Amino acid sequence: MLQRAWTVSYGELVGLLLLTPVHVLMVVILLGAGMAMLWRARRPRDVYLVDYGCFLGEPHHRITFAMAVEHAHLMTSLIDNESASFMVRLYERSGIGEETSVPDSFRYMPPEQGIEASREEAELVIFSAVDKALARAALNPDGIDALVVACSFTTLTPVFADAIVNRYKLRADVQSVNLSGMGCSGALICIGLAKSLLQVAPPGRRVLIVATEILSSMFYAGTKREMLVPNVLFRMGAAAMIMSNSPERARFRLGPVVRTLTAAQDRDYRCAFQEEDDEGVTGINLSKDLPAVAANALRRNITALAPAVLPASELLRVAFSFLGHRFLGGRAEERCYRPAFHKVFQHFCIHPGGRRVLDEVQRGLGLSDGDMEASRMTLHRFGNMASSSLLYELAYIEAKRRMSKGDRVCMISFSPGIDCSSVVWECIKPAADPENGPWAGCIHRYPVKLHRQILKRTHEQQEHHMRPIKN
C-alpha cells in the first residue's frame, strides 16, 4: 500500500516536472510582454513634423536696393544723411538681395508704426503661413489640439494666438501659448515646448506652431548706429508648422532639442538690448561684441548637443584631443580636434542673422560653403525674417530636391540673451512637390555668387544714389 502511494506520487511528480518548462516559458513570455508594455508606456513618445508653410510676399511688397537707398535719404526729418549713408554701406555688405519684402507701413513717410499697421501685417503673414501649412498637411483646423505662437517685439491685445483661434474657429478646448521676447530662437523654443506637450499627450494629438516678427513696430527712427542695424537686416516673413506625436502623414522625426542660455554674463545679456537712445527713441541696440558672444554660446550649445548626435569614435577623438592639450602640454596655437558634424548631418539650417554671424558659425563648426548654401541664399532672397527664417532654409533644401529619406537636418539659431538653440530632424518622407513653397518661381536662379553681386551693386548703384545727396 505504501509502495503504491509512493508510486502514484512519483508519477505525479514526473508529470509536473514534464510540464514545468512549458509553464516557465509562459511565465517568461508574460513577464517579457509586461516589461515591454511598461517600457513603452514610460518611454517618451516620438514627435514628428507633419508639414510646414511659409509666407511669400507679393511683388508690391518687394524692396530693391535702389528703393531702400532712396527711402532712407528721403526721411530727412527722422534720419540724417550720415545715418542714411551708414545704412547704405551696411546694406552693401549684408548679403541681402533685390527681392526681399517689407510691409506696406514701411512705404509711408514717416513709416507707420501704429497698432493698426502691426495688426494688418500680422494678419497678412500669419494667416498666409497657416493656410499653407494646413493645406500641405491636408488638415482641417478642428484637428489642432494646441497652438504656440512666437513673436518677440510686438504683443497686441488680443494676442496673435487669439487672432488665429478666431480666424480658424479652433475648438474651445484648444491649448494656446503666446511667446514674446524670444527673439530669433523663437521657432526652435516653440518646437521644444511642443515636444514637451506632445510627449505626455494621448496619441494622435497635433500642435500648430507659428513664428514671425512684425516689422511695423520695430522701425528705429533715430541716429544711433548700433540701433540702425535692424532696419537694414530684418524683413517680413512668417512660418507655420504642424507637429504631432503620431507618425501618420509625418515627414520629419524630431531628434534632440538643446537650448543654451548665457544671460548670466553681463556682456552676453546686453549685446542685443532693447532700449531708448539719447533722444528717447526706442530701438534694439546690437553690440559689436555680438558675433563673438554668439560664437561662445554656439560652442556651449554644440558641447551639449554633441554627445546626443556624434558617434563614439568622434567623441573619443574629441576627448583625447582635449586631454592632450590639458595634460600633455599641447601647443597654444594648436586647436582641439573639431568634430566632423558634416558626417552626422546632411543639411544645416543656420539662422541668417547677417553675413558676419554666418561666417562665425561656418568657421566654428568647420562647415563647407555647400553646408552654408541654404542659409546664405535665404538671407539673399528673403533677408533676416527672425525665427521663421529656418523654415525658409528647409524649404530651399527641399526645393533643390536634395532631401532624401534618412537625411538629418541640424537647425541652429540665436536670440538676445544670448540664447543659442539647436534642433535635429530626421527625414522620413521627402516632399511630394518640393517646389511648391516660398522658392517657387525662383529656385532655378539659386545659388547666386554673392560677393560679385555686392561688388557690382556697390560701384553702380551707390554712385547713382549718393550723388544727389552730396549736392
Q: What is the topology classification, in CATH, of domain 48-309+336-464?
A: Peroxisomal Thiolase; Chain A, domain 1 (3.40.47)
Tell me the pairing of strands 146-150 and 206-213. parallel
Hey, what's the cell of 135?
493645406
With 0-12 CB in 10 A as exposed, 13-18 as middle and 19+ as buried, what is 104? middle
> What does the DSSP 8-state code read for residue 279?
T
Instruction: Return the pLDDT at 21.
Output: 59
Cα 143 to Cα 134: distance, rounded to the nearest angstrom: 10
Of 241, 122, 112, 126, nearest in space to 187 by CA: 241
Tell me the pairing of strands 408-415 and 419-427. antiparallel
Mean pLDDT, consecutive 10-residue stretches, the chain (471 aa), reads 48 53 63 60 81 96 90 76 87 92 89 91 97 96 97 91 97 95 94 96 96 92 89 95 96 97 92 90 88 89 90 75 61 59 92 90 91 97 96 97 96 93 97 89 92 47 41 31
Hey, what's the cell of 62?
518687394
> What does the DSSP 8-state code read for residue 144?
-
Instruction: Judge whether 233 and 91 are in contact, CB under 8 Å.
Output: no
Domain residue ranges in the chain: 48-309+336-464
Tell me the whole-structure pTM to 2 decimals.
0.86
Instruction: Return the pLDDT at 454.
Output: 47
Residue owning grid cell 552676453: 268
End-to-end CA distance of the chain: 132
Cα 235 to Cα 63: distance, rounded to the nearest angstrom: 10
Q: For residue 63, what are the CA distances in angstroms to 233, 235, 363?
A: 12, 10, 31
Q: For residue 403, what are the CA distances in angstroms to 16, 149, 170, 434?
A: 61, 27, 33, 9
Instruction: Return the pLDDT at 337.
Output: 63
- Look at the chain and count its residues: 471
